[in-house]
Amino acid sequence: MGKFRLGRSENVYAWLFLAPALTLLAIFMVYPILWSLWMSFQTGKGVNTQFGGLANIYRLTQDPVFLRALTNTLIFLIIQVPIMIVLAILAAVALNDPKLRGRAFFRTAIFLPCVTSLVAYSVLFKSMFATDGVVNDTLMWLHIISSPIPWLAQPFWAKCLIIIAITWRWTGYNMIFFLAALQNIDRSIYEAARIDGVPAWARFVYLTVPMLKPVILFTTVISTIGTLQLFDEVNNITASGGVGGAPADSTLTLSLYIYNLTFRFMPSLGYAATVSYVIVVLVALLTALQFFVARERK
Amino acid sequence: MSGVTLRGVRKSYGGLEVIKGVDLDIAPREFVVFVGPSGCGKSTLLRMIAGLEEISGGELQIGGTRMNEVDPSARGIAMVFQTYALYPHMTVRENMGFALRFAGLSKAEIDKQVMEAARVLELEPLLDRKPKALSGGQRQRVAIGRAIVRHPQVFLFDEPLSNLDAELRVHMRIEIARLHKKLNATIIYVTHDQVEAMTLADKIVVLRAGVVEQVGSPLTLYDDPDNLFVAGFIGSPKMNFLPAVVDAGGALRLPDHGDQILPALPASAKLSSGTQVTLGLRPEHFRPDGAAGLRLTVDLVEHLGGESFAYARHGEGGEVITVSTGDSRALESGQSFDARFDPSKALLFNAQGLRLR
Ligand SMILES: Nc1ncnc2c1ncn2[C@@H]1O[C@H](COP(=O)(O)OP(=O)(O)OP(=O)(O)O)[C@@H](O)[C@H]1O
Ligand SMILES: [Mg+2]
């Protein structure tokens, strides 16, 4: 530690300046986090609760709806995140080519979805993917399918629809990180490889991808966290009669289940808090795993 | 080893022509240096030879074969970049061996090539380090190693030493000269450092604004430049240029130096009286025993230890003239002195800047 010490009065001023921010953080972050941890040990409904120890955790293992929400969430995670990261890298590499015309236009076009209004886009997706919507019409007109795909009515297709929707919405966002990283790579690295006869695919696999590794890790972690908290789309696009997660809970996610437990059913706040902590544990485990996989190997 | 031939080579970006018809013959095993001021097209010309820039017109031959449309990897060249362009995530060994994996070489063969290059460049102790753990000079050696393992016919260097400090630059310069002898390869080397050009080159190509001004050995360019530009560009400190008017019998009158008359030079004897010319005098043409002299007042003296340079002018408003005073350290600023020189050493240029011989 350095020998330099702040004087006592400087210390006080520092705390005074920090106090407003710390107070807000404490009230709106620390307190709810600790309180929900405490609540996750409470059982009972509505205001009528008592301490139940590990009862909620036992309940998790016996709850088929929770298990289904967990499975759905993990399916979304495992399928959607890799697809989106790969698409984002490919889009970034394509848009980084100085010979491409209209780069600025495409960059904006791909980035725009993540700043559009959630409700507007949900309504649009719902109508586009309706049985007689523009997507089915186009696919039939192109003779790719012979009868309409039941996007909103069948569990499998509903999951596909959610994956399409969140991929559409977040690919551009991730692409921006890759573009920024690519623009920092010295162009002569690729020129050297070209002169040395390294084929284009190998330049991508052995040069671009490894050099993007830190960004791949970063985007994977934030996308994982985002997908584990997936709520908006399943509560809007695949909602039927005002209830999200349709059809037959096939797009029910952990976040949506927490919402249902708290606001839709007879409030079971303690149990909802326990499910929230499942997400926390999953985020922690998966992030640790991703850092482990991406570590510098000797 | 192959030679390189350029015939009327041109390059335009849109409507802007940056290489305006270059003809050049580079013999096998020759060390050729491109020099010229910033933006004159040295890098562009080199990158056209490498195949990184398309050739807008003319013909490029390497080893007697037309190469205009050939892929960079099939031209038998290797290039070393100013920024080194090492693969940051690979070790020195992987950096040097990477491209060979795609040339159909076996693992053992690649290993052999890499070890051989590492031995030549004294990189053996560093083979398992990543570029970020190397000094600038070591990185540059790795970049050269990566070029060597491919056994190219022609090496291309684009200002390879300009990111190094002065001491390392001298060291690497000597190393590159040594390497050229050992590898016996054709080398094309771009620099704007004329000491590098003078010391390394068999042949210097002086470029200006996309045009070759003169091609020749370093001493030819120094002693016998074709025009004012080359005369001023080669040599440090720069050659002094004095306006002069031809008098009767070819004698030269210096209007800026009190109309002092110099005896006729072989080249000026043929000129008619009244012709405006420029006299070129290198700082080292000033010698205490010279037959002519200029009356100058010292502005500033630079002592480099072994030699000293006086920056002096005639009167108040005259042009600054650089005078090498040899190892004499006697001059001081403000002092007036008679700068003696040997008028027969002076070069003569006409009003268009072309040399008069
Ligand atoms: N992609 C491009 N588009 C338009 N002009 C270009 C392009 N690349 C280079 N130029 C122009 O071509 C000219 C030659 O550039 P080049 O890089 O070859 O110069 P150089 O001699 O290597 O200079 P330096 O010593 O600064 O490296 C410059 O005037 C530059 O502005
Ligand atoms: Mg250059």
Between A229 and B4, residue with greater pLDDT: B4
CA A196 to chain B, closest CA, distance in angstroms equals 5
Chain B residues in contact with A195 (beta carbon < 8 A): 50-52, 72-73, 77-79
Which of A196, A206, A210 lies at the smallest CB-CB distance from B73? A196
Q: Do B253 and B158 share a domain, yes or no?
A: no
Give the closest residue (by CA) to ligand 1 atom 4: B13
Helix extents (H) in chain A = 8-25, 31-39, 55-62, 64-95, 103-111, 118-128, 134-141, 155-183, 187-195, 200-202, 209-211, 213-228, 232-236, 254-259, 269-293
Which structural domain, as residue segments, surrounds residue B197? 4-233
Alpha carbons A197 and B51: distance in angstroms, whole number: 12
Q: Which of B327, B323, B263 is nearest to B295 (CA)?
A: B323
Taking the Cβ of residue B13 and every Cβ of chain A, the question of whether any pair is shorter than 8 Å is answered with no
Alpha carbons B102 and B260: distance in angstroms, whole number: 71
Taking the Cβ of residue B333 and every Cβ of chain A, the question of whether any pair is shorter than 8 Å is answered with no
Token pair for residue A118? 């959630």
Q: Do B281 and B338 share a domain, yes or no?
A: yes
Mean pLDDT of all residues in B91-96: 94
Alpha carbons A65 and A257: distance in angstroms, whole number: 8
Q: Do B34 and B182 share a domain, yes or no?
A: yes
Token pair for residue B331? 């001059």
Nearest chain A residue (CA) to B101 = A198
Coil/strand/helix, residue A211: helix
Instruction: State the CATH number of the domain containing residue B90.
Output: 3.40.50.300
Q: Do A189 and B87 touch (CB under 8 A)?
A: yes
**pLDDT 10s digits, A227-272:** 888 888 888 888 777 777 778 888 888 888 888 888 877 777 888 8
Residue A252's pLDDT is: 86
% chain A with pLDDT above 70: 96
Residue A5's pLDDT is: 64
Mean pLDDT of all residues in A56-74: 85
Which of B73, B85, B88 lies at the smallest CB-CB distance from A197? B73
**Bridge partners, residue B353, by sequence:** none
Q: Are strands B252-254 and B260-262 parallel, antiparallel or unpaired?
A: antiparallel
**Across chain B, what does the average pLDDT equal?**
91
Provide the pLDDT confidence category of residue A85 given band limits of 50, 70 and 90: very high
User: Ligand 1 pocket by C-beta < 6 Å: which residues?
Assistant: B 13, 16, 18, 36, 38-44, 192
Coil/strand/helix, residue B261: strand
Domain tally, chain B: 2
Residue B95's pLDDT is: 94
Q: Which of B196, B214, B233 is the last residue of a domain?
A: B233
Q: Is the pLDDT of residue A4 over 70?
A: no
Q: Do A195 and B88 touch (CB under 8 A)?
A: no
Q: In whole angstroms, how far apart are CA A36 and each of A22, A69, A167, A263?
A: 20, 20, 31, 16
Q: Which atom of ligand 1 is nearest to the CA of B44?
A: 18
Angle between helices A213-228 and A155-183 (to 10 degrees): 150
Residue A298's pLDDT is: 59
Q: Which atom of ligand 1 is nearest to the CA of B190?
A: 22
Chain A residues in contact with B77 (beta carbon < 8 A): 195
Taking the Cβ of residue A205 and every Cβ of chain B, the question of whether any pair is shorter than 8 Å is answered with no
Q: Do B102 and A192 touch (CB under 8 A)?
A: no
Q: Is the pLDDT of residue B357 over 90?
A: no
**Amino acid in the structure at residue B354:** L
ipTM of the complex: 0.86
Chain B residues in contact with A205 (beta carbon < 8 A): none
Q: Is the pLDDT of residue A92 over 70?
A: yes
Q: Do B31 and B141 share a domain, yes or no?
A: yes
Q: From the candidates B54, B62, B83, which should be mutated to test the interface with A, based on the most A CB atoms within 10 A?
A: B83
- The continuous run of DSSP H or E covering B186 comes out as strand B186-190
Chain A contacts in chain B segment 129-148 (CB below 8 A):
146
Q: In whole angstroms, how far apart are CA B252 and each of A88, A119, B151, B248, B280?
A: 74, 89, 56, 9, 12
Q: Do B85 and A192 touch (CB under 8 A)?
A: yes
Alpha carbons A267 and B215: distance in angstroms, whole number: 89
Q: Do B251 and B199 share a domain, yes or no?
A: no
Exposure string of A139-168, with b = 16+ CB inside 10 Å and e = fewer, is: eeeeeeeeebbebbeebebbbebbbbbbbb
Nearest chain B residue (CA) to A197 = B73
Answer whether B2's CB lies under 8 Å from B25's CB. no
**pLDDT 10s digits, B60-82:** 999 999 999 999 999 999 999 99
Alpha carbons B293 and B311: distance in angstroms, whole number: 15
Q: Do B156 and B229 share a domain, yes or no?
A: yes
Ligand 1, from B33, B43, B156, B233: best to mutate by most atoms within 8 Å of Cβ?
Answer: B43
Provide the pLDDT confidence category of residue B198 given band limits of 50, 70 and 90: very high
Taking the Cβ of residue B85 and every Cβ of chain A, the question of whether any pair is shorter than 8 Å is answered with yes
Alpha carbons A94 and A100: distance in angstroms, whole number: 8
Q: Which of A96, A84, A60 is nearest to A211 (CA)?
A: A96
Q: Do B226 and B288 share a domain, yes or no?
A: no
Q: Which atom of ligand 1 is nearest to the CA of B41?
A: 18
Q: Do A192 and B146 touch (CB under 8 A)?
A: yes
**Bridge partners, residue B77, by sequence:** B154
**Bridge partners, residue B79, by sequence:** B156
Q: Which of B233, B262, B296 is the last residue of a domain?
A: B233
Answer whether B53's CB lies under 8 Å from B44's CB. yes
Q: Which of A115, A114, A85, A89 is nearest to A224 (CA)?
A: A85
Q: Do A199 and B102 touch (CB under 8 A)?
A: yes
Q: Do B194 and B319 share a domain, yes or no?
A: no
Q: From the candidates A196, A204, A211, A298, which should be mutated to test the interface with B, based on the most B CB atoms within 10 A?
A: A196
**pLDDT 10s digits, B166-188:** 888 888 899 899 989 988 889 99
Alpha carbons B131 and B118: distance in angstroms, whole number: 15
Q: Is the pLDDT of residue A3 over 60?
A: no
Residues 6+ apart with CB under 8 A from B270: B250
Q: How far is CA B153 from the centre of its chain?
A: 22
Answer whether A22's CB lies under 8 Å from A31's CB. no
B138: left (phi over 0), alpha (psi -120 to 50) or beta: alpha
The total number of residues shown for chain B amounts to: 357
Residue A1's pLDDT is: 45
Give the closest residue (by CA) to ligand 1 atom 17: B43
**pLDDT 10s digits, B115-170:** 999 988 889 999 999 999 999 889 999 999 999 999 899 999 999 988 888 888 88
Q: In whole angstroms, how far apart are CA B257 and each of A77, B254, B274?
A: 86, 5, 17
**pLDDT 10s digits, B290-347:** 888 888 999 999 988 888 999 999 887 788 999 998 877 888 888 888 889 988 889 9
Coil/strand/helix, residue B1: coil
Alpha carbons B32 and B1: distance in angstroms, whole number: 14
Q: Which of A166, A165, A271, A161 is nearest to A228 (CA)?
A: A166
% chain B with pLDDT above 70: 100
What CATH number has the domain spanning A61-293? Answer: 1.10.3720.10
Residues 6+ apart with CB under 8 A from B151: none
Alpha carbons A116 and A147: distance in angstroms, whole number: 31
Q: Do A188 and B81 touch (CB under 8 A)?
A: yes
Taking the Cβ of residue A209 and every Cβ of chain B, the question of whether any pair is shorter than 8 Å is answered with no
Residue B183's pLDDT is: 86
Taking the Cβ of residue A192 and every Cβ of chain B, the question of whether any pair is shorter than 8 Å is answered with yes
Helix extents (H) in B121-250 = 136-148, 166-183, 194-200, 218-223, 228-233
**pLDDT 10s digits, A177-232:** 999 999 999 999 999 999 999 999 999 999 999 999 989 988 998 998 888 888 88
Segments making up each domain of chain A, as ranges:
8-51, 61-293
Q: Which atom of ligand 1 is nearest to the CA of B37?
A: 25
Answer whether A225's CB lies under 8 Å from A288's CB. no
Nearest chain B residue (CA) to A203 = B99
Chain A residues in contact with B85 (beta carbon < 8 A): 186, 188-189, 191-192
Distance in Å, CA B18 to ligand 1 centroid: 7
Q: How far is CA A167 from the centre of its chain?
A: 10
Q: Do B269 and B316 share a domain, yes or no?
A: yes
Q: Do B226 and B112 share a domain, yes or no?
A: yes
**Amino acid in the structure at residue B63:** G
pTM given for the model: 0.82
Residue A235's pLDDT is: 84
Answer whether B120's CB lies under 8 Å from B179's CB. yes
The residue written with tokens 């040990």 in the block is A41
**pLDDT 10s digits, B24-39:** 999 999 999 999 999 9
Nearest chain A residue (CA) to B143 = A192
**pLDDT 10s digits, B9-26:** 999 998 899 999 999 999
**pLDDT 10s digits, B218-231:** 999 999 999 999 99
Provide the pLDDT confidence category of residue A6 given band limits of 50, 70 and 90: low
Give the closest residue (by CA) to ligand 1 atom 26: B38
A–B interface: beta-carbon pairs under 8 A: 57
**Across chain A, what does the average pLDDT equal?**
86
Q: Which of B209, B233, B257 is the last residue of a domain?
A: B233
Write the DSSP assignment of B78-109 as a string of letters.
EEE-TT----TTS-HHHHHHGGGGGGT--HHH
Q: Do B92 and B191 share a domain, yes or no?
A: yes
Answer whether B213's CB lies under 8 Å from B182's CB. no
Q: Do B248 and B193 share a domain, yes or no?
A: no
Q: In whole angstroms, how far apart are CA A32 and each of A36, A57, B52?
A: 6, 20, 59
